[in-house]
Structure 1
Amino acid sequence: MPQPIRIKDHERDARLVRKRVVVGAVAIVSLIGVLIARLYFLQVIQYDYHSTLSENNRVHVQPIPPSRGLIYDRNGVIIADNRPSFSLTMTRERSGKDWLQLLDVIVEVLALSPDDRRLFEKRMRQGRRPFEPVPILFELSEEQIALIAVNQFRLPGVEVIAQLVRHYPQGEHFAHSVGYVGRINEAELKKLDPINYSGTHHIGKTGIERFYEPELHGSVGYEEVETNARGRISRVLKRTDPQPGKDIHLSMDIGLQQAAEAALAGKRGAIVALDPANGDVLAMVSLPSFDPNLFVTGIGLSAYAELRDSIDRPLFNRVLRGLYPPGSTIKPAVAAAGLDAGVVTGDTRVFDPGYFQLPNYDHKYRNWNRTGDGWVNLEMAIMRSNDTYFYELAHRLGVDRLGLYLGRFGIGQKVSLDMFEESPGLMPSREWKRARYRQAWYPGETLILGIGQGYMQTTPLQLAQVAALIANKGKWNRPHLAKDIDGVAPQDLVRPPELQLPSPMADIQLRDPKSWQQVSNGMQQVMHGARGTARKVGESAVYRIAGKSGTAQVVAIKQGEKYDRSKVQERHRDHALFIAFAPADNPKIAVAVMIENGESGSGVAAPIVKKVMDAWLLGPDGQLKPEFRSPADVSGKPMSAQP
């Protein structure tokens, strides 16, 4: 049956449409109200905040690292400078999400090795500041720069920048004194001023470069730059120039340094030359050495392993860190102690049968001359390096007074002004042995201290200072490498409390000032006396030298046995040492030489000392330079021939 046709209710449909229109209009008005409210909140209430964000996205403050101060020798010869270099940098925040993949692209473009890839990743993972470009590859070639430019579209956040990089034109000559700079590591980054070191990627690691880092670094500058959406700089809005680091003039002389290295060539050892009048370090050699340029932009693993694992230890600073028994070079200081303490005089004589025995003991402490020297006084004891005399002298002094006097000469403490790597060495005492070995001090240990053996450990710098103190009659001048920093003496620098220079040492005041001359006379007889241990070296000198040889045992020899070099491995043979100053009546240079396993202080070390002194004191005519002469000099006549 057909369904009835429904008649459309127009009135109801109209009411429904009107309802929907009203609801829609209300919804639209509400949404517009919300939008207007949001716009009001963002553009009116938070105007300052969002305008700052917008400006920061457009304007960036970039640090301008200062140029590092230069280092010169005393004559103005460049030792450390800065040279332009192109480096590849990467900013992680601008390189996209997968910056590790970007490193793979760099390696591919430049055809680098997997080791380079690992090194890049290590540098990128090191601590840094946001949006700071990190140098990952240094000293780019023109070909590498071109490859980066061609592939720039594949390398977001990667740029080639020009910067100044430290360079050491003298290579190995000053590696252990000037030191080198290297990349800032994470531990250093936490300690450094984050503002002043913004944009700086290198810091002094050793030597002068490290000690005077605050002066050499300078102060950072800034520039406000406008960037586009890709982070590229479109213009510079404002610039504050950095303050460059201060230049340093060293007290060292490159000519004397090279002469000292030539004299020591082929040997493992150290040379220190000082000016007794003011503490200037004239030369400082530790051989073998190394090229500090290798460390500036990052040394390769294989190259570093070769230096680190070398049996000759080229990275080891023998002048400051090498610890050696001083041997007989300490005897002049022991003699000065004995004279001042009153336990001996210049005329006190000791009989030497070739050995010394403590009362009620059978053990014989041998003199190097097994047949003995008979009756010897102080001057002869120094000239002959008579062990028996100094056994007796040390026994009379006792370990407490001996340690007190030698401490005043700098033994067992740091003596330098500006060499942070210096070791204090060791001046043993009763308390030290009790704490170290839980044992009492034995009388025989005092005896061997008197000849520079036993527990005593010294650095070549300390021995040079002993010679300088005797030459200067006890006046203390701390050895220093820097002569002036932008015209200011190191002692006058204004530095933070934690970086203050060491305080001055007290001068050694002997009760009778003539004692210094007595010690000096004995040292002169070493070089110029008829029985002096180094008379063969002194014979050819045109100036008078005061010196003292030393031979330090590396391995012990049993009681009654005699040293036989043929039975001892080369690296177990005795060390050769020598200290000296000259001219004896007007000292201008004090020198200490240490040769590892050199065996003979007089035969091996003394000739090297004379070569160093000749290079400093003599002019082209083979005579003393005019500024080093005194009225007592006899021009053209060997000083050994003078009375």
Structure 2
Amino acid sequence: MRKRRERVKDHEQEVRVFRNRSLVAAALIVLMAGALVSRLFYLQVMEHDVFITRSDNNRMRVEPLPPRRGLIYDRNGQLLAENRPTYNLTIVRERVDDLDATLERLVQILGLPEDEVETFRERSLQRQRPYQPALLMSDLTEDQIARLAVNRYLLSGVEVEAQLMRYYPDPIVMSHVLGYVGRINAEELSELDPGNYAGTHFIGKTGVEYTYEDQLHGKAGLRKVETNARGRVLRELDREPPVPGKDLTLTIDSRLQHLAYDLLGGRRGAIVAIQPKTGDILAMVSAPGFDINKFVTGISYADYRALQDDIDLPLYNRAARGQYPPGSTVKPFEALAALQNRVVDANDIVYDPGYFQLPNDTRRYHNWLRWGHGRVDLRRAIEVSNNTYFYTMAYRLGIDRLSSFMHEFGFGEVNSLDVQGALPGLMPSREWKREKYNQPWFPGETLSAGIGQGYFMATPLQLAAATATLANHGHWVRPHLAERIGDQPVKPPFPDTKPDVQVDKTQWWNDVYEGMEEVMSGREGTARKAGAGLEYTMAGKTGTAQVFSLGQNQKYNASELAERLRDHALFIGFAPVEDPQIAVAVIVENAGGGVSGLGRELTDAWLLPKSELKDRPDATVPEEVESLDGD
């Protein structure tokens, strides 16, 4: 049997292997320790702010504090827009386990129609940043609040917030002046400052609420609170109070505003009254109005559709956006244009046979009085509103000089300081027609513009502003609605105010004033019934604007036309003539005539506030006014 050879151990090799393995193990330990230390350094140092924020969010959160919206007052301190406490339903999506199930549960608890689930889902998206509450429902009832309280344990992320909500004491009469606030929509969210509007669910949509949104809104505050595991607030840790919005005082006189609305008597129309020296808008009424309180909490689809479909257009601001042919109310301004351009002297006589004819034209442009007024000068032409005289003046002036002078009084322009959505109307010219229609201007169109017809369009606000400028001997003050913002008064001079209207002779103003005074008090004045018993001097001018065009030899007969095809009735005036305190413009759609009494009533109320208004003929009954034919 062979004997096995024993192997001798190599101690040096074993030592080398052990050393190598130890080094590898040490290196692995060092690498792993390094990775662990690096990760710990990254988490605890580099990402410290992130994780401390996450940690704090589990028990602390920062909540925005919306500012109190500024109040709105009239010039006498009467409250026009206030804030009333209410309860709103909000949701924080990140704190909701199952959004769809929660929204469906909310609808069931509140007893709402099933289609409200989709509405709630859309509203839950309308927020500016994560963890910000989204408004689901406003102005909760006591019954709804009680139902939510009982089922609170089922509604994680849902809260009932107590907030102040806008309320308008005179929602219809003031609708087109104040405008309204409404829920912030997705488009507005993308444009608003996320810091300043955090926690704010409403924003000014129209009217002065929109124009002065920045001043009325204020500045949002913050509070830091500690919460439990379910997100309920346990205590407040820190607070930065919000800065309330500034109160806004308007130039509007509530008493005058209500009177103007009542004078319209449910008819479609507008009345604007301005203080000539300051540009204060004392009243700006568009009728019919609408209930702006419905828009604050979110008007129902049915109610909004009813407003849109209403044939009387209650949402339409006729005072600032209604563009109407101004009719004969422009004749005093045209008279000044004719005097300034030396195409007539105040004492020159124009013979009126009842019509005007252009040279080499057989067409007759009729005066409203078919048999004519005979011999008329400038003052009598204004008093009786003689069309033939002003056809003659317009023809002599030409459309370019007439248009240029009318622009000096603000026709065809927006000159109000802060009336939201005001439109410019239209003062036509030869160049305008060429650009608009690529057609030449015709002489007959100049005659139509000369009596405020044809392409000529003006808003009631423009007419009132032009009348105020006329009363000021051409001095321009921009019409405005704000009297004070906070404690800061808003007063002229205003930026971008038009230059004053200049005429070569002061007497020309008086010539026009005398004619307008005769309108109110003259034997042939077209507003003599409304001017009966005046206790002050008043200058006025009546007008009608055609809605339905007549043929060459047809005669206007209101009784034979459908109500909405009858002429619009207009009136402008100012008083007292020697020291003007108020200028008014009135338009009543399809009234035919007889609205100068409305301007008289409003002027009485401003100049004679403490006296009893005397009994006078019913201002709603048409007086002897012109009815335009054949232009």
TM-score by length of 1: 0.88
- In 1: Cα distance, 2:562 partner to 2:402 partner: 34
Q: Is the aligned partner of 1:562 residue 2:555?
A: yes
Q: Is the aligned partner of 1:307 residue 2:307?
A: yes
1:549 corresponds in structure 2 to 542
Q: Is the aligned partner of 1:594 residue 2:584?
A: no
Q: Is the aligned partner of 1:55 residue 2:52?
A: yes
- In 2: Cα distance, 1:380 partner to 1:335 partner: 12
- In 2: Cα distance, 1:599 partner to 1:118 partner: 50
- In 2: Cα distance, 1:34 partner to 1:405 partner: 90
Q: Which amino acid aligns with 2:90?
A: T
1:270 corresponds in structure 2 to 270
Q: Secondary structure at 2:488's aligned position in 1?
A: coil
Matched-pair contact (CA < 8 Å) for 2:128–2:194:
no
Q: Is the aligned partner of 1:423 residue 2:423?
A: yes
How far has the Cα of 1:37 moved from its partner?
Answer: 5.3
2:500 corresponds in structure 1 to 507
How far has the Cα of 1:553 moved from its partner?
Answer: 0.2
Q: Which amino acid aligns with 1:104?
A: E
Matched-pair contact (CA < 8 Å) for 2:483–2:491:
no
Matched-pair contact (CA < 8 Å) for 1:550–1:577:
yes
Structure 2 residue ranges without an equivalent (≥5): 1-21, 615-631
How far has the Cα of 1:227 moved from its partner?
Answer: 3.1
2:196 corresponds in structure 1 to 196
1:524 corresponds in structure 2 to 517
How far has the Cα of 1:48 moved from its partner?
Answer: 2.9
Q: Secondary structure at 1:234's aligned position in 2?
A: strand
1:367 corresponds in structure 2 to 367
1:91 corresponds in structure 2 to 92
How far has the Cα of 1:215 moved from its partner?
Answer: 0.7
Q: Which amino acid aligns with 2:71?
A: L
Q: Secondary structure at 2:135's aligned position in 1?
A: strand
- In 2: Cα distance, 1:505 partner to 1:392 partner: 29
- In 1: Cα distance, 2:481 partner to 2:115 partner: 39
1:468 corresponds in structure 2 to 468
Mapping of 1:198-597 within 5 angstroms? 198-490=198-490, 503-597=496-590
- In 1: Cα distance, 2:416 partner to 2:320 partner: 9
Matched-pair contact (CA < 8 Å) for 2:329–2:541:
yes
- In 1: Cα distance, 2:44 partner to 2:572 partner: 77
CA 1:133/1:623 → structure 2, altered by over 3 Å: closer, same or farther?
closer
2:618 corresponds in structure 1 to none
- In 2: Cα distance, 1:623 partner to 1:513 partner: 35
> Percent identity among equivalent residues?
50
Q: Which amino acid aligns with 1:588?
A: Q
- In 2: Cα distance, 1:367 partner to 1:34 partner: 106
Q: Name which of 38, 43, 61 aligns with 2:40.
A: 43
Matched-pair contact (CA < 8 Å) for 1:256–1:283:
yes
Structure 1 residue ranges without an equivalent (≥5): 1-24, 494-500, 625-643
Matched-pair contact (CA < 8 Å) for 2:329–2:452:
yes
Q: Which amino acid aligns with 2:43?
A: Q
- In 1: Cα distance, 2:228 partner to 2:30 partner: 35
- In 2: Cα distance, 1:492 partner to 1:163 partner: 37
Aligned residues: 589
Deviations 1:301-337 (CA, angstroms, capped at 9, x unpaired): 0010111110011000000110100000000010111
Mapping of 1:139-218 within 5 angstroms? 139-218=139-218
- In 1: Cα distance, 2:516 partner to 2:104 partner: 68
- In 1: Cα distance, 2:240 partner to 2:196 partner: 13
CA 1:373/1:492 → structure 2, altered by over 3 Å: closer, same or farther?
closer
Deviations 1:448-470 (CA, angstroms, capped at 9, x unpaired): 11100000110000111121111
CA 1:235/1:335 → structure 2, altered by over 3 Å: closer, same or farther?
same
- In 2: Cα distance, 1:622 partner to 1:345 partner: 42
Q: Is the aligned partner of 1:607 residue 2:597?
A: yes
- In 2: Cα distance, 1:270 partner to 1:160 partner: 43
Q: Secondary structure at 1:320's aligned position in 2?
A: helix
Q: Which amino acid aligns with 1:52?
A: D
How far has the Cα of 1:567 moved from its partner?
Answer: 2.8
Q: Which moved more, 1:553-562 or 1:565-574?
A: 565-574
- In 2: Cα distance, 1:441 partner to 1:120 partner: 57
TM-score by length of 2: 0.90
Matched-pair contact (CA < 8 Å) for 1:70–1:248:
yes
- In 1: Cα distance, 2:553 partner to 2:140 partner: 66
Q: Which amino acid aligns with 1:566?
A: S
1:112 corresponds in structure 2 to 112
- In 2: Cα distance, 1:241 partner to 1:533 partner: 62
Q: Which moved more, 1:166-175 or 1:68-77?
A: 166-175
Q: Which moved more, 1:42-51 or 1:450-459?
A: 42-51
Q: Secondary structure at 1:224's aligned position in 2?
A: strand
Matched-pair contact (CA < 8 Å) for 1:542–1:623:
no
- In 2: Cα distance, 1:87 partner to 1:181 partner: 16
Matched-pair contact (CA < 8 Å) for 2:127–2:133:
no
CA 1:462/1:241 → structure 2, altered by over 3 Å: closer, same or farther?
same
Q: CA RMSD in A?
A: 2.1
- In 2: Cα distance, 1:166 partner to 1:38 partner: 59
